Amino acid sequence: MYADRTNWNLTANLLSEALERHRAAGKPLLDLTVSNPTECGFVYDDKGILGALSDPSALKYEPAPRGLVSARRAVCEYYANRDASVEVDDMILTTSTSEAYSYVFRLLCNPGAEVLVPAPSYPLFDFLADIQDVKLVRYPLIYDHGWQTDFHALELAITSRTRAVIVVNPNNPTGHFMKQMEMEKLNALWAARGLALIADEVFLDFSLEKKRPLSFAGNRGALTFAMSGLSKICGLPQMKAAWLVVSGPEELKREALARLEVIADTYLSMNAPVQLAVPSLLALRRSFQEQLMARVRRNLAELDRQLAQQRVCSRLDVEGGWYAVLRVPATRSDEELALSLLNDHGVYVHPGHFFDFPSDGILVVSLISHEEVFSEGLSRLLMNFH
Ligand SMILES: Cc1ncc(COP(=O)(O)O)c(C=O)c1O
């Protein structure tokens, strides 16, 4: 009855089952995995947000495959503020970066084509790829006084079926940014082989570094698809507004955009009220980002304070993003550890394998957790290793 591509194992894993039981029993939970910014106690400009959604122009339907020009212009301004030059016509609006990924996969990949993805990274890739009949091939990131791309392994992972490489800048959950030299290396490698670059930059604004991180938007060295959206930039995942910026050698770029326009025109998935609101919503991002970064900094300071009181666990360097990666003794699998933290201590954390870490001894915690929850959850977690 069903297509092979949907042949997923849909049984809940042990940790999700335990979480459901824990919640159903009404037990208190210290959730250190939160990623939904609308549930973290940040103060939003409710009036500004709701006001932005009530533009009377929304009463008229004006289908625009690439998205309304006013919204795209606001996105160009966003990039101009980051010193990245993006043209209004080099962009397609989408409802999410997930949708942007599916457009790009559809554009580039025949069934069975390969796309390289970093490991560790974000767990949604598997499903996005399955649905589009794309085969993911992992390339390892290495941690040695900070995270780096293993270019040798990346090159070895390229086959005749490879169409693109995904870079997540900064990566989730490692929180490291691509450096100028890495971008140049990637451009040289990719342009020489006629492959495309897909840059997921949803966390680009959330940097802990003094130097402003570089964006792939407007990258000219290779055919590049840079994506981001309001979900993280403004902490508004419910608005379903994102974008795809295309750049690179002129002819390739023009053809990619023309083909993407047909894909977008087939769905016309963006709704009018949200598109009309994009300029105002983007203008509200600074207050959200300031609150979020203040939370991240305080939680990180608390993490370092607690880690300094013991010698068994440590954390990896973090340059940005919303997560911290903890190194803990690998005396059992990360899943068993996460289960025990949940069942015995009421602390919910993500095991490293959830993000494709290759070995045990890794837990991932969200730095946007409420501060009291973060502090108490962490102290129970660390006590576990005394
Ligand atoms: C790296 C990365 N890309 C994309 C997304 C999803 O963004 P969107 O809500 O725009 O689909 C997430 C969400 O957590 C993410 O971590």
pLDDT in tens, 92-122: 999 999 999 999 999 999 999 999 999 999 8
Contact 226, 217 (CB under 8 A): yes
Looking at the CA of residue 121, tell me the nearest atom of ligand 1. 1
Question: What is the band of 354 on the pLDDT scale with cuts at 50, 70, 90?
Answer: very high
Residue 240, phi-psi category: left (phi > 0), alpha (psi -120 to 50), beta (remainder): left
Non-local CB neighbours of 378 within 8 Å, separated by 6+ positions: 32, 302, 303, 306, 365
Average pLDDT score over residue span 341-370: 97
Task: Report the C-alpha gap between 250 and 248 in whole angstroms.
Answer: 6
Q: What is the pLDDT of residue 206?
A: 98
CA atoms within 13 A on the CB side of 145: 0
**Where do the DSSP E strands lie in the chain?**
30-31, 91-94, 114-119, 135-143, 147-149, 162-168, 196-200, 224-229, 242-247, 314-315, 323-327, 347-348, 350-351, 362-366
Contact 243, 25 (CB under 8 A): no
Q: How far apart, in Å, are the Cα atoms of 32 and each of 207, 323, 346?
A: 20, 10, 10
Residue nearest to atom 7 of ligand 1 (CA): 97
Task: Report the C-alpha gap between 348 and 250 in whole angstroms.
Answer: 48
Q: What is the pLDDT of residue 12?
A: 87
Distance 175 CA to ligand 1 centre (A): 14
Q: pTM above the 0.85 mark?
A: yes
Distance 330 CA to ligand 1 centre (A): 29
Distance 231 CA to ligand 1 centre (A): 7
Task: Report the C-alpha gap between 160 and 113 in whole angstroms.
Answer: 9
Question: What is the band of 368 on the pLDDT scale with cuts at 50, 70, 90?
Answer: very high
Which of 95, 122, 169, 178 is the best mutation target for the ligand 1 pocket, counting ligand atoms within 8 Å of the beta carbon and taking the most?
Answer: 122
pLDDT in tens, 22-61: 999 999 999 999 999 999 999 999 999 999 999 999 999 9
Q: What is the pLDDT of residue 145?
A: 87
pLDDT in tens, 300-352: 999 999 999 999 999 999 999 999 999 999 999 999 999 999 999 999 999 99
Residue 386 has pLDDT above 90, yes or no: no
Q: What is the DSSP string of 121-180?
A: --TTHHHHHHHTTPEEEEEEEEESSSEEE-HHHHHHH--TTEEEEEEESS-TTT--PPPH
Instruction: Give yes or no for residue 228 CB within 6 A of ligand 1.
Output: no
* Omega of the bond leading into 37 within 30 degrees of 0 (cis): no
Residue 232 has pLDDT above 90, yes or no: yes
Contact 240, 277 (CB under 8 A): no
Short-list 235, 156, 248, CA closest to 198: 248
Instruction: Give yes or no for residue 200 CB within 6 A of ligand 1.
Output: yes
Average pLDDT score over residue span 47-76: 98
Task: Report the C-alpha gap between 261 and 275 in whole angstroms.
Answer: 17
3-state secondary structure of 200: strand
pLDDT in tens, 245-279: 999 999 999 999 999 999 999 999 999 999 999 99
Distance 251 CA to ligand 1 centre (A): 29
Question: What is the band of 385 on the pLDDT scale with cuts at 50, 70, 90?
Answer: confident
Average pLDDT score over residue span 160-185: 97
Other CB atoms within a 10 A radius of the CB of residue 174 amount to 26
pLDDT in tens, 186-226: 999 998 999 999 999 999 999 999 999 999 999 999 999 99
Instruction: Give yes or no for residue 242 CB within 6 A of ligand 1.
Output: yes
* Omega of the bond leading into 173 within 30 degrees of 0 (cis): yes
Contact 350, 33 (CB under 8 A): yes
